[in-house]
Structure 1
Amino acid sequence: MDEIRVLSATAILGYGFPDASFEAGLARGPHLIAADAGSCDPGPYYLGAGASFTDRTAVTRDLERMIRAGQRLGIPVVIGSAGGAGAAPHLAWLRGIVDEIAAGQGLRLRAAVIPADIDRETVLQALRDGRISALPHGPQLTAEDIHASTHLVAQMGTAPFVAALRDGADIVLAGRAYDPAVFAALPLLHGFDEGLALHMSKILECAAIAAVPGSGSDCMLGTLRRDHFVLEPLNPVRRCTPTSVAAHTLYEKSDPYHLPGPGGYLDLSDCVFTSEDERGVRVSGSRHIAQPFAVKLEGARLRGYRTVSVAGARDPYFIREIDTVIQGVRDRVADNFPDIPPDSYELLVRVYGADGCMGPLEPSPRPAGHEVGIVIEAVADSQDLADTLCGFARSTMLHFGYPGRLSTAGNLAFPYSPSDFHAGEVYEWSVHHLMATDDPAALFPITFVDYPGDPS
């Protein structure tokens, strides 16, 4: 095999893709259809709560088309980070969708199911053995962090996927996984260069985001050869350029030359990006440097319960005094509820138009526009307490006096009634660390499920 073609359907399963783009990709004769299904970008809630951040109907739509195409072409379909966060409830959720598709279509399938959950005792033993390290700028892991986590997952690399494909899986459903692994596994099974395979896959995991104009809801084709790979979007309105592909290579990376992953890092010091034609880009020179294998651990614990109130203001005097008003509201809350320990709740106020996005990192925190958006948020040990604190802070800010105030009817404009919303459980990251392991596949046992197809 001189080349292997990989079709990336969408940036995250459930984000969708145009049927025309997908069919154009299928016409190119891909050897694999794959999609990453998750990310930790939406925050710790989804892992902690065991809930998907993608919609079931949307995921079913994408997955049904991918499975039917895989059956039509006789090629595997590979999905990683099931249900968004990739823990046991997420994997069961995605498998349930496959069950429905297979039964409804009468499909004969061999599915490999690969959980990513890791038991607490395994992590605790690794902690005792000194095999767990903090990520840069992160805290050291403690036994308390491990016990407090509702779900613990380890981010699998390519090895479990390679094993599943070697054993004849038509579809692979995996828990939390290194994003490029779902695309790189088949090339690695066929002996292609690891550096090129992983680099191509690192770009394919976001589908057509590396194109111009970019989109996470459109398809991308990667063609891997022995000394280079080519990327091209499948929608005629998009094209890849050396700049767009090189820029996306750096996506979420702090070092432009060294991209770490399980078992080593990509060295891009000698990488070259050149135009292949009007819409494609050829990439060469990517190298993989092996290191002792480690998996990234992810865990989330319950922090409390949240209530939120959204409002706006456009009085220039209120906006001028906004910092004083916020501090005055905080002081009134503390004064009005002296029996509530300060460490049992958080009262957050975000001012959009000032520093709502970056908070203390904002270089120009003073409001500059004619209006501001205000989000009052209370996080407490119970939903009732969060309701109480948010409601009191909201009413206090509504009637708070300040220099230059002309009207006493109220300082805030509320777009909704009721003005306060229960946001429910709040989770925070409790585990975000690396765990060294000698065997990259041992933590991730594979179970095969055979769908018999239509008996008629």
Structure 2
Amino acid sequence: MDRVRIMTPTGMLGAGWDESTIERGLALGVDVITVDGGSTDSGPYYLGSATAKTTAQAVARDLRSLLNAAARAGVPLIIGSCGTSGTDAGVDWVAGIAAKVMAEEGLDLRVARIYSEQAPAALTGQLDRIHPLPPLGDLTAETLESCTHIVGMMGHAPIVEALRGGAQVVLAGRATDTAVAAAFPLLHGMPAGPTWHASKIVECGGQCTTDPRGGGVHTTIDAGGFTIEPLSPGSACTPYTVAAHMLYETVNPFEMREPDGTLDVRDATYVALDERTVRVEGSRFHLADQHTIKLEGARITGYQTTSFTAIRDPLILADVEGWADLFRHHLRLRVTQTLGLADDAYAFDVRLYGHNAVLGELEPDAGPPREVGVMLLVNAPDQATATAVAKVANPLMLHLPAASMHYLPSLAFAGSPAETERGAAYEFVLNHVVDSDPTELFRIEYGVVR
């Protein structure tokens, strides 16, 4: 092939789009349809619990659109990081929805499922091949065993293998966002520099356009570079919006590491071909001496209960930090008195939304806030203890006066009951890479999950 045309309808499966943008993409000509299915952006819960951020209804709607489009165009459909975090359960979840949609639409497409979940015991035997990324240190077997789920972040190679196996639909576990789009053009001989750069730009669909809500993008990769334009006629790609996306989720705006090398865009040029189309040339890709796979793992840190109240009292808000310190003091005291718990038997956090909750000490505006939302987040080894601590905090969050006040204030709870049990809380504990062959950690199975 002397060029590869990619349609990326959105930044994440389940986000939705106007169907007219799909029709426009097909009219422009398409060789492959790609879309990301997940991310770690939303925190460790989705990996730790192996559940999806998106709803089944939204995923089914998007799959119906894409499966029909792929069948009409006779091109592959590639979806990465299925089920948000790319666990085996996430892949099977998306595959099950796809099977139902295809049965309803009368489609007969060959499906490949690529599994990326890793067994702690297997990784324990490879500790000499696993290396930490800052700021973590060497990995231990105990850390691996503490994880509820571990995934390896695949590059393009397993997807290429599935395509070579005749897959018309590839449902991949955890994958780099870029690998989802890069696999097909690399398979068909497109140069690595433009391919990886284009794949980085299209990863979030319309985010590289002037209207990120307007839909996805259409990209053409050839021997000299790539050309990109939005699927929505009301949007545009400009040199600014395209170049700016290299700053998104990267440590270095000129480099980005993939499992088998590093994208280098220092010499890239961005030229507007017209009011809505951009041409990019000069991107390079440097192969690494060692292929590595990044590991992601999450474990349970305890169980959480939250409460939320709102403060408008100007005397409290005149020194809301002092009030928060007073709250912390009285809560610890009352928990000891009523529940008999030592301070190390639970943990809690008080977040003052409306006063430095987001920027903290970096907040540039001085002066007291007009209103503050107080979030209490309690973490304990079990749900009952977390809720008990939050219940002890209830009267303090409703009536605690500031030290200078001589009356009992009434604050405002967000709901009744004031306490909300959030269940298990998770944390990421792996930031490591394993020296690996591009495909050895991943398993490919063909056929649908019914």
TM-score (norm 2): 0.95
Structure 2 CA distance for aligned equivalents of residues 109 and 344 of structure 1: 54
Match of 1:221 in 2: 218
Match of 1:350 in 2: 351
Structure 1 CA distance for aligned equivalents of residues 422 and 366 of structure 2: 29
Shift of 1:164: 1.0
Secondary structure at the aligned position of 1:79 is classed as strand
Match of 2:246 in 1: 249
Match of 2:120 in 1: 120
Match of 1:328 in 2: 326
Gap change, CA 1:405 and 1:139, over 3 Å in 2: farther
Structure 1 CA distance for aligned equivalents of residues 403 and 330 of structure 2: 18
Shift of 1:175: 0.5
Q: 1:303 aligns with which of 290, 297, 301?
A: 301
The C-alpha deviation readout for 1:17-46, integer Å capped at 9, x for no partner, is: 111111101111100011000000110001
Match of 2:174 in 1: 176
Shift of 1:341: 3.3
Match of 2:261 in 1: 264
Q: Which runs of 5+ in 2 are unaligned?
A: none
Secondary structure at the aligned position of 2:429 is classed as strand
Structure 1 CA distance for aligned equivalents of residues 113 and 377 of structure 2: 40
Shift of 1:121: 2.2
Structure 2 CA distance for aligned equivalents of residues 289 and 146 of structure 1: 32
Contact residue 379 and residue 386 of structure 1 kept, 8 A:
yes
Which letter does structure 2 place at the counterpart of 1:352? Y
Contact residue 48 and residue 427 of structure 1 kept, 8 A:
yes
The CA RMSD over aligned residues, in Å, is 1.8
Secondary structure at the aligned position of 1:108 is classed as coil
Shift of 1:388: 1.3
The C-alpha deviation readout for 1:398-436, integer Å capped at 9, x for no partner, is: 2222245365242x2123122211111101112221111
Gap change, CA 1:11 and 1:256, over 3 Å in 2: same
Which letter does structure 1 place at the counterpart of 2:419? D
Gap change, CA 1:372 and 1:123, over 3 Å in 2: same
Match of 1:340 in 2: 341
Match of 1:47 in 2: 47
Q: Which runs of 5+ in 1 are unaligned?
A: none
Structure 2 CA distance for aligned equivalents of residues 123 and 152 of structure 1: 10
1:106 correspondence with 2:106: yes
Match of 1:418 in 2: 417
Match of 2:235 in 1: 238
Structure 2 CA distance for aligned equivalents of residues 324 and 164 of structure 1: 60
Secondary structure at the aligned position of 2:38 is classed as coil
Secondary structure at the aligned position of 1:337 is classed as helix
Secondary structure at the aligned position of 1:405 is classed as coil
Shift of 1:299: 0.8
Structure 1 CA distance for aligned equivalents of residues 23 and 162 of structure 2: 26
Structure 2 CA distance for aligned equivalents of residues 358 and 429 of structure 1: 22
Secondary structure at the aligned position of 1:377 is classed as strand
Match of 1:191 in 2: 189
Which letter does structure 1 place at the counterpart of 2:299? R
The C-alpha deviation readout for 1:271-316, integer Å capped at 9, x for no partner, is: 1111121101111111111111111101111111111111211122
Gap change, CA 1:79 and 1:342, over 3 Å in 2: same
Contact residue 354 and residue 365 of structure 1 kept, 8 A:
no
Q: How many residues of Structure 1 are paired with residues of Structure 2 in the alignment?
A: 446
Structure 2 CA distance for aligned equivalents of residues 395 and 413 of structure 1: 11
Match of 1:159 in 2: 157
Shift of 1:364: 4.3
Which letter does structure 2 place at the counterpart of 1:273? Y
Shift of 1:80: 0.5
Contact residue 325 and residue 397 of structure 1 kept, 8 A:
no
Structure 1 CA distance for aligned equivalents of residues 408 and 335 of structure 2: 25
Which letter does structure 1 place at the counterpart of 2:252? D
Which letter does structure 2 place at the counterpart of 1:435? V
Which letter does structure 2 place at the counterpart of 1:175? G
Structure 1 CA distance for aligned equivalents of residues 273 and 444 of structure 2: 39
Match of 1:388 in 2: 388
Structure 2 CA distance for aligned equivalents of residues 324 and 384 of structure 1: 30
Gap change, CA 1:302 and 1:367, over 3 Å in 2: farther
Secondary structure at the aligned position of 1:443 is classed as coil
Match of 2:21 in 1: 21
Match of 1:210 in 2: 208
Structure 2 CA distance for aligned equivalents of residues 451 and 380 of structure 1: 38
Shift of 1:139: 4.2
The C-alpha deviation readout for 1:35-87, integer Å capped at 9, x for no partner, is: 00000011000111111011110010001110011111110000010000011
Which letter does structure 2 place at the counterpart of 1:249? M
Structure 1 CA distance for aligned equivalents of residues 309 and 248 of structure 2: 34
Match of 2:428 in 1: 429
Range with greater deviation from structure 2 (414-423 or 442-451) = 442-451
Which letter does structure 2 place at the counterpart of 1:337? V
Shift of 1:377: 0.9
Contact residue 87 and residue 116 of structure 1 kept, 8 A:
yes
Shift of 1:451: 9.6
Structure 2 CA distance for aligned equivalents of residues 316 and 336 of structure 1: 26
Gap change, CA 1:367 and 1:112, over 3 Å in 2: farther
Which letter does structure 2 place at the counterpart of 1:201? S
Which letter does structure 1 place at the counterpart of 2:351? R
Shift of 1:365: 8.2
Contact residue 261 and residue 285 of structure 2 kept, 8 A:
yes
1:78 correspondence with 2:99: no
Q: 1:443 aligns with which of 412, 421, 441?
A: 441
Secondary structure at the aligned position of 1:182 is classed as helix
Structure 1 CA distance for aligned equivalents of residues 33 and 243 of structure 2: 23
Which letter does structure 2 place at the counterpart of 1:362? L
Contact residue 3 and residue 223 of structure 1 kept, 8 A:
yes
Structure 2 CA distance for aligned equivalents of residues 269 and 166 of structure 1: 33
Structure 2 CA distance for aligned equivalents of residues 259 and 9 of structure 1: 23
Secondary structure at the aligned position of 1:431 is classed as coil
Aligned-pair identity (%): 38
Shift of 1:326: 1.5
Match of 1:372 in 2: 372
Which letter does structure 1 place at the counterpart of 2:104? G
The C-alpha deviation readout for 1:86-119, integer Å capped at 9, x for no partner, is: 1111111111101111221221111111000111
Match of 2:140 in 1: 142
Range with greater deviation from structure 2 (254-263 or 167-176) = 254-263
Moved over 6 A (4+): none
